[in-house]
Amino acid sequence: MTEQDSCRSCVQKHECQRVYEQIGNTSGSSVAVKVSLAFLLPLVVFIAALAASQRVLAGVAEPAQTAISLALALASALGCILAVRVISGKSCQDR
């Protein structure tokens, strides 16, 4: 039995068809910008902050340099995430 055969014998087939039509007719903006802001921008900020802090802290001892650079990069990425959330109009409590 195919899917269409099962729909023909269903008493709610008109309701299902209406729901699928509404789903198919959704209109909205592209999510590409939102995806890049949500995922790519914090990653790029993290990598850039890590590279910049490694250059700035070049004279510091190696274990401390790594720890400080990582902390600065994480703080920069978290700051970027919070800034994007504020700009997009969502607070941290709207999860």
Q: How many domains does the chain have?
A: 1
* Model pTM score: 0.61
Q: Which residues of 57-79 are buried (b: 16+ CB within 10 A; e: fewer)?
A: beeeeeeebeeebeebbeebbee
Tens digits of per-residue pLDDT, 28-43?
A: 667 787 787 788 999 9
Residue 30 within any structural domain of the chain: yes
Alpha-carbon dihedral 58, 63, 64, 69, rounded to 10 degrees: 70
Backbone angles phi and psi of 92, in degrees to 5: -65, -20
pLDDT of residue 1: 44
Show the domain range for 58.
3-87
Percent of the chain with pLDDT over 90: 37
| H-only helix segments in 1-95 | 3-8, 13-24, 32-35, 41-56, 62-87
